[in-house]
Amino acid sequence: MKTETGKYMGTKECGHITASSTPSKGEAGRTGDWRVKYPVIDNDVCTPARRGKPSCFICWSFCPDAVISKTVPLIIDLEYCKGCGICAEECPTGAIKMVEEDRS
């Protein structure tokens, strides 16, 4: 699309003249490939998974990016997880392990 001065821009169709976004998943971007470690839950050790009913959820309450679901079993959304490791640190049963990203 051409701008007022006849130059091609490419982003004019977005319909804004400044930066704006709406509250939605991924608004601030996905984590990308810079994460060093990612969390893996062992459902044989995780309390809610083992008992088969809602309980504990300490990792859910501590996750600063709110990427852990409050479900049985828990699901971590690795699309947005930054790999900070707080969940693994806080898990009272040691059910969450941080695993190195495969860089190969």
Residues that bind other proteins (CB under 8 A): 3-5, 9-11, 13-29
Distance (Å, rounded) from C-alpha 14 to C-alpha 100? Answer: 38
CB of 14 to other proteins, least distance (A): 5
CB of 66 to other proteins, least distance (A): 16
For residue 73, whether the previous peptide bond is cis, meaning omega lies within 30 degrees of 0, is: yes
Nearer to other proteins, 21 or 104 (CB): 21
Q: Are 59 and 68 in contact, with CB atoms under 8 Å apart? A: yes
Nearer to other proteins, 16 or 35 (CB): 16
Q: Are 86 and 62 in contact, with CB atoms under 8 Å apart? A: yes
Nearer to other proteins, 2 or 103 (CB): 2
